[in-house]
Amino acid sequence: MTVVTLPLFGAVVAGNEYDTSVDFGGRPVEASLMLSEVAELEAGSELDVFCTQFFGNWREIIETAQQAVAESPTTAEYLKHHVDELDTDALTAILGPDTPVTEAALAEKLHPVTIWSCPIEDEDEEVYGSVDFSIDAEYSQIKLAVNFDKTANVIGVEIEN
């Protein structure tokens, strides 16, 4: 069993899962590395390099994800869904009593909640990592996920339950 040292998590081995929390903009963001589907993790391997880059540069990764959220048409769909589907009490709790309910106002409440990687040994899997955003986990379980490939480049933004 090879032990690899990764940013945020320290010593890790294949077959296990690791969680910690980081502060981003005054809010906690859960960081998760799920290696349960990985049979082997070697120092210097493609996976080691990805995890080192992705979690070692977590602030920049989250900032890149924020930019992707700001530019994606999927974000407008996510916000419209919440304006249409959440009841008035929930929207007031999220936005405050003096803020009109608009998609733009709700966009201001979007914040990162998780940065994670769940790499699997599958040639067809493009997503190596993700940053999830939420308006408020208390009122909506639906997240906006910014997905990254093995070179830590954004490959898409999607809505996830």
In this structure, are residues 12 and 35 in contact, taking their beta carbons and an 8 Å threshold? yes
Residue 1 pLDDT > 90, yes or no?
A: no
Q: Total structural domains in the chain? A: 1
145 vs 124, which has greater pLDDT?
A: 145
Domain of residue 21, residue span: 4-160
pLDDT for the residue numbered 161: 87
Q: What's the whole-number average pLDDT of the chain?
A: 93
